[in-house]
Amino acid sequence: MTDLAATGVPRDLSAADDSDALTDFIVAAPDGTFGIHLLVEGVHCGGCVRKIESALADDATVVDARVNLSTRRMTAHWSGAAAHARTIVNTVESLGFRAVPFDPDVAVSEHEKQGRELLRTMAVAGFAAGNVMLLSVSVWSGHAQDMDEATRSLMHWISALIALPAVAYAGRPFFRSALRAVAARRINMDVPITLAVVLAAGMSLMQTIDGARHAYFDSSISLLFFLLIGRYLDHRARGIVRRSAERLLALGREPAVVIGEDGRQQTVAASRIRPGMALLVATGSRFPADGVVEDGESEVDTSLITGETLPQVVMTGDTVLAGSLNIGSTLVVRAGAAGDNTVLAEIVRLVESAEQKRSRYVALADRLATAYAPAVHGLAAGTFLGWIILGGLAWQPSLLIAVAVLIVTCPCALGLAVPAVQVVASGRLMQAGILLKNATALERLAEVDTIVFDKTGTLTEGRPELLDRATIADEDLNRAASLAAASGHPLARALVRAAGEAVTPEQGVEEVAGRGLEHGETRLGSRVWCGIAGDGDDDAMELWLRSAGHEPVRFRFRDRAREDAADTIAALLGKGYAVELLSGDRAATVSAMATELGIETWQARQSPADKFSRIEALAADGRMVLFVGDGLNDAPALAAAHASMSPGSAADISQNAADVVFQGGHLGPVTMALGVASSARKLVRQNFALSLGYNMIAVPLAIAGLVTPLVAALAMSASSLTVVGNALRLGWKKP
């Protein structure tokens, strides 16, 4: 994928209004298609996402179009002419949204701008609501004490002078959205809100002009105030995930110092880095690209990417990742991957991929909310006409009752029921380095009752270490390591690490694939390669060193369990999960690992087909299986399981097949993801019950004329705040 930043994204959004301005952001793919990333303004819910994607799906030339709800980033690819980008933008804007070329910096700026506007409008609405409410209390008291008409009228006019400008200013976020929707001949949640606010304020003004006894400026401005509180909290909650993704994007945008072939140094933008360039990374700087250390030794903080809390020591030959922080000495790094090809960019894509798919609960809430707006308008109109025709009321009080119905039935709580929980859950998991690739993953993780682990690279570190170092003579270790330095085999690398800096690589070493290394009469490799009798059937991996005039030396290795593997297994068993171990390794090795970790059910020598069959057999028995694996051979089992997780070090195909990818060297994310998923499911059900229960009670009362617009505003806002507050509990409680 081409780095769009390299094309020079403008900071001024208005620059994209011109048709020619889009040309610079269109990316041609090798398969002949074109792509563009757009920032879509006005996307508030899953219903907005569905409308845009459905409209573009009707365009025969559009290959795919996905909108990310958190970042509001739309990625579209199409065939045919590059100029079709303008048609795509026009399609989006015809639905009432505004589309401009995507820039992460602009996205951050726009998010902060919206937050500031919501705060300002909330402050204005709160100030006005407080003052108007004081005047209303005076009027209500005056009704009981025979307040004269002139005083009451004066109070109403003062209320109007405070409330009407405040409504006009504080209501802008809702009015703009409603006008765009109506202009596009569609209805969203802001339409009934706007109708309720405008009708309440307009009718109150008419009552004041006529010198009537009642006015409802307090209802109008109070409704706005409570709605703005709910919207600001929703804005903050969505910002948790949005900021995480945007922060990751920003990490890879550090300028780089490139060392030319003549040794001269030049500072360039990260987007101009190309594989093979030599980069100078000073102390305190972040790595602008993935690469390999070519010169120097330092410590690197990878906590934001891998979740590792301790700095990692890197030296010549070690791999470093874009976004990591160099906290030691200056390094020279040979760039391997840059831009959208880095691990950092892949993480961001995983994050966005998770949000581009909707869960069953979100889809249900969206469908209900979509049908809700027309139903609400019909109900309000029916109530208005019903009270006039059947109830014999004048149009003014009938309209007041209809306004109360509009306010009470604003579907804010229903619309927030699922997104609020998912945003908080995703944000909490992301902070722990756990990335959801599939939005339904939370729902499926909550149903899991059986967990099956792969061994190598999952339960273990996937990095063999030399055993019994103290019993091996330094001379033997150095001789073996001098040969091993010529090989990239994991056991050979373990020997070199064990020998440390004393290793002097031997020249002229020949490596025989599948057997070992040979230098003159000295061999380092398998038992058979070195001519050692016996089968060595124990739980340790081994290498033998045999040379003329010396006794053969055996080096034993073991892939150690992850630091918290035993605690994680114990915690899962303690919570009632069934735990199994499937491995392609030898029986002795698998048995030793299972015993060490307390896993009673295990199987060794498992091929990919065997693992797949075991997962299917468990499913046939009615078990909901979570498979945790990392290798290429685990991909079929990951795809077959009810839910799946892979560590960030897993093969690409395994990460693609898994529902969840976790960073770092621990297994704790498995228990955390299961705990958060279980809590999220409970909260979603509670939110549905709260929002539906509220409507079942409040709507009949409003239709019956027992709820004033002010009480309706308080009740509706309280229901939204209750749902959001209930979701935020997930961020506080321990899973």
Where in the sequence numbering do the catalytic residues fall?
454
CA distances from 438 to 281, 358, 677 (A): 36, 8, 13
Angle, vertex CA 490, rays to CA 488 and CA 495, nearest 5: 90
On whether the CB atoms of residues 229 and 122 are closer than 8 A, the answer is: yes
Sign, CA torsion 492/497/499/502: positive
On whether the CB atoms of residues 654 and 630 are closer than 8 A, the answer is: yes
Spatial distance between the Cα atoms of 676 and 669, rounded to a whole number of angstroms? 10
Phi (first) and psi of residue 482, to 5 degrees: -65, -30
Spatial distance between the Cα atoms of 417 and 687, rounded to a whole number of angstroms? 5
SS3 252: coil
Q: Spell out the SS3 assignment of 178-246.
A: HHHHHHCCCCCCHHHHHHHHHHHHHHHHHHHHCCCCCCCHHHHHHHHHHHHHHHHHHHHHHHHHHHHHH
Spatial distance between the Cα atoms of 520 and 482, rounded to a whole number of angstroms? 13
Tell me the DSSP string of 255-276.
-EEEEPTTS-EEEE-GGG--TT
Task: Specify the DSSP class assigned to residue 577.
Answer: -
DSSP element (H, E) containing 511:
strand 510-512
Count CB-CB contacts under 10 A for residue 734: 6
For β-strands 319-320 and 290-295, DSSP reports them as antiparallel
On whether the CB atoms of residues 94 and 57 are closer than 8 A, the answer is: no
Cβ burial of 608 (10 Å; 0-12, 13-18, 19+) is middle
Tell me the DSSP string of 654-683.
HHHH-SEEE-SS-SHHHHHHHHHHHHHHHH
On whether the CB atoms of residues 245 and 352 are closer than 8 A, the answer is: yes
User: H-type helices in 390-453, by residue range?
Assistant: 395-408, 412-417, 419-431, 441-445
